[in-house]
Amino acid sequence: MGILIKPNSIVFGVEEYNRAALSREELGLFKAEFDTLFNVTDSIEKRMLQERFDTIQACTEAIKFALDSKPFKGIAPADTEIGWSRIRPEHFGMTNWKVSLTAGWQDWLGSWTSPYTVPDDVGFIILGFKSYSATPKLAAVHVKVGRQEFVPIDVRFIKAKDNPNGVAIAPIPTLILVPKVEVAIRFQSDETADDEIEPVGIAVGLGRYLKKESYT
């Protein structure tokens, strides 16, 4: 997992995705909204995102290419323009981020035998996971995208909240989910308990998809 940025494409594992570069105007909007879309300046989450700004831009351009290079209009896109938002539970067919974990491995998004298919009109960029529990239970994350299965990522350090703000957040190598790709994500826990786990990342898609309140 992780993204290699090339002049006109990105490499994600064994896959290479073409990029449709943001225009000067689009990049200006991208930078301006980036500073307001993700929490306040001293947020640990925002710092993590800022550290990967170039990667997020490249992934956005890869999703833009997959969406027929439609114009990027930020948080106010028309139905056939590209916009962005934080990832909401509804985007993954969930009602909230609450999850009941058991000791061991369990499916979270799709499964190895029945993966989740990313909709035609959106792509996702995931940079980590955040827990809203006072005592986080997440221990590891296992990801399969298309024909690629990545090694499990140990994230037990999320329990230490080892950052200046004491936030339970665990970065992972950048994960890009382009439109129509099949994906499965599994969680491991060391105990049986409830948690509330949010993927830290961005949804980049057409306005007609992002502006929906319900996806049922």
Q: What is the mean pLDDT of residues 50-67?
A: 96
Higher-confidence residue of 117 and 161: namely 117
Contact call for residues 174 and 60 (beta carbons, < 8 A) = no
Instruction: For residue 107, tell me if it sits in a domain.
Output: yes
pLDDT tier for residue 164 given thresholds of 50, 70 and 90? confident
Looking up tokens 């981020």 gives 97
Q: What is the mean pLDDT of residues 182-211?
A: 96
Q: What is the mean pLDDT of residues 183-197?
A: 96
Question: Helix or strand or coil: residue 61?
Answer: helix
Instruction: For residue 215, tell me if it sits in a domain.
Output: no
> What pLDDT score does 130 carry?
94
The pTM of this model reads 0.95
Closest alpha carbon to 77 in 211, 178, 215, 214: 211
Instruction: For residue 39, tell me if it sits in a domain.
Output: yes
- Asked if residue 55 has pLDDT above 70, the reply is yes
Rounded Cα–Cα distance for residues 190 and 175 (Å): 24
For 2-52, how does the pLDDT look when each residue is reduced to its tens digit (9 = 90+)? 899 999 999 999 999 999 999 999 999 999 998 777 766 667 788 888 899
> What pLDDT score does 142 carry?
98
CA 193 to chain centre: 24
Q: What is the mean pLDDT of residues 89-110?
A: 96
For 104-120, how does the pLDDT look when each residue is reduced to its tens digit (9 = 90+)? 999 999 999 999 999 99
Instruction: For residue 101, tell me if it sits in a domain.
Output: yes
pLDDT tier for residue 66 given thresholds of 50, 70 and 90? very high
Tell me the β-bridge partners of 18: 9
> What pLDDT score does 41 carry?
63
Share of the chain above pLDDT 90, in %: 82
Instruction: For residue 103, tell me if it sits in a domain.
Output: yes
Contact call for residues 85 and 72 (beta carbons, < 8 A) = no
Please state the domain count of the chain: 1
> What pLDDT score does 40 carry?
60
Burial class (CB in 10 A: 0-12, 13-18, 19+), 130: buried
Alpha-carbon distance values, 39 to 35, 46, 55 (Å): 8, 6, 19
Q: Name the residue range of residue 42's domain.
A: 3-210
Alpha-carbon distance values, 10 to 36, 54, 178, 192 (Å): 26, 11, 12, 39
Rounded Cα–Cα distance for residues 134 and 157 (Å): 14
Rounded Cα–Cα distance for residues 52 and 57 (Å): 9
